[in-house]
Amino acid sequence: MAKKRALVTGGTGFIGSNLLERLLSEGYRVVCMDNLRTGSLKNIAHLQDDAAFECVHHDVTTYIDCPGRLDEVYHFASPASPADFERIPIPILKVGALGTYNALGLAKAKGARFMLASTSEVYGDPLVHPQSEEYWGNVNPIGVRGVYDEAKRYAESITMAYHRHHRVDSRIVRIFNTYGPRMRPDDGRMIPNFIHQALLGQPLTVYGDGSQTRSVQYVDDLVEGFLRLMRSLEVRPVNIGNPVEYTVKEVAGLILELSGSASELIYEALPQDDPKQRCPDITRARETLSWEPQVPAREGLSRTIHWFAERVERSGGGIRPKEIGGPTG
């Protein structure tokens, strides 16, 4: 049988590059499409010599031309760090709206199965806890986070419209906080910030009093969820996240412990509309995909700390973290 061919938009980013690697290892031919706004060619450098891999520099907010057969489209292009919501609000709105429209048009033209990378941010600052897919959310449409939240809510809406109206075979994954190798140290999100600060011996910047919660999942668990969802018949949105919930202060403490850093915590202002609590209800993923996260936070964070430490060391600084058993990615 001919190999499946997939397009991954946002493929030079953190999650996209991890997904590309997995698809190649599953025997796919893959096209990575990215405008490098928050991604990096370094994330795909090790794939360049693979004959099954192609990379196209393109902004998906403009018409997407992708010659040849396509079986699957993974639409992952979008900046995702809250630090970017104020910095580049209009590109975020455009990629969620126009980018999703173009990616859906391509999937329709090719008869390809389509997956949208949505987010737990569609639940906003949730009033229901944990969040199941039935919850409609609590989003401030005009706040600084609204550009991302509403773009993703629109993206879900247009995906379902293409599904109902044009019969596009679609999947929606609501991704909860994910971390792992290939996050940018200057990305601005909690885990890369804390790890980078810990390794450099700088204070860890806890926003607010650090009592807000997040549930953090390792990227390999997430990618496994994508593959299972793509192969399933589940058209409804599916939460993919690790339901073990931590306060931000606990995550900071864990990173200090695992990295062996003596950094202290400093407290800074809480960003506007920062969700107070977040934890996925993963009943649907368990029941329809037989999916559960496998990597505990201590293990995933240790692997990630080591990945960051190698890079900090290469640039001539940082502390050496404690030894761990697992691969460093």
Name the residues annotated as catalytic: 148
The answer to the question of residue 55 lying near ligand NAD (CB under 6 A) is no
Could you tell me which residues are beta bridge partners of residue 204?
Answer: 265
Stretch that binds ligand UDP, among 64-72, 206-214, 288-296, 301-309 (CB under 6 A): 206-214
| Residues that contact ligand UDP, how many (by CB under 6 A) | 14
Selected binder of ligand NAD within 55, 73, 77, 122 (CB under 6 A): 77
The answer to the question of residue 230 lying near ligand NAD (CB under 6 A) is no
Selected binder of ligand UDP within 71, 169, 250, 274 (CB under 6 A): 274
Short-list 57, 54, 53, 97, CA closest to 75: 97
Short-list 165, 170, 188, CA closest to 274: 188
Binding mask 110-149 for ligand NAD (x = CB under 6 A): -------x-x------------------------------
Q: Quick check: 36 and 43 in contact, CB under 8 A?
A: no
The answer to the question of residue 189 lying near ligand UDP (CB under 6 A) is yes
- Give the residue with the Cβ less far from ligand UDP, 207 or 307: 207
Residue 74 CB, nearest approach to ligand NAD (Å): 9
Stretch that binds ligand NAD, among 6-14, 44-52, 137-145, 206-214 (CB under 6 A): 6-14
The answer to the question of residue 307 lying near ligand UDP (CB under 6 A) is no
- 228 binds, options ligand UDP, ligand NAD, none, Cβ within 5 to 8 A by partner type: none
Integer Cα distance of 145 and 158 in angstroms: 20
Q: Measuring CA to CA, how many Å separate 149 from each of 19, 89, 122, 206?
A: 23, 11, 5, 23
Q: Which of residues 141-180 bind ligand UDP (CB under 6 A)?
A: 177
**CB-based burial, 69-85: b 16+ in 10 Å, e otherwise:** ebbbbbbbbbbbbbebb
Spatial neighbors of 42 by CB under 8 A, at least 6 apart, are none
The answer to the question of residue 221 lying near ligand NAD (CB under 6 A) is no
Q: Which of residues 165-194 bind ligand NAD (CB under 6 A)?
A: 175, 177-178
- Give the residue with the Cβ less far from ligand NAD, 10 or 124: 10
- 36 binds, options ligand UDP, ligand NAD, none, Cβ within 5 to 8 A by partner type: ligand NAD
Selected binder of ligand UDP within 138, 140, 205, 232 (CB under 6 A): 205
Chain residues binding ligand NAD by CB under 6 A are: 9-10, 12-16, 34-39, 59-61, 76-80, 95, 99, 117, 119, 175, 177-178
Chain residues binding ligand UDP by CB under 6 A are: 82, 177, 189-190, 193, 205-207, 212, 214, 248, 270-271, 274
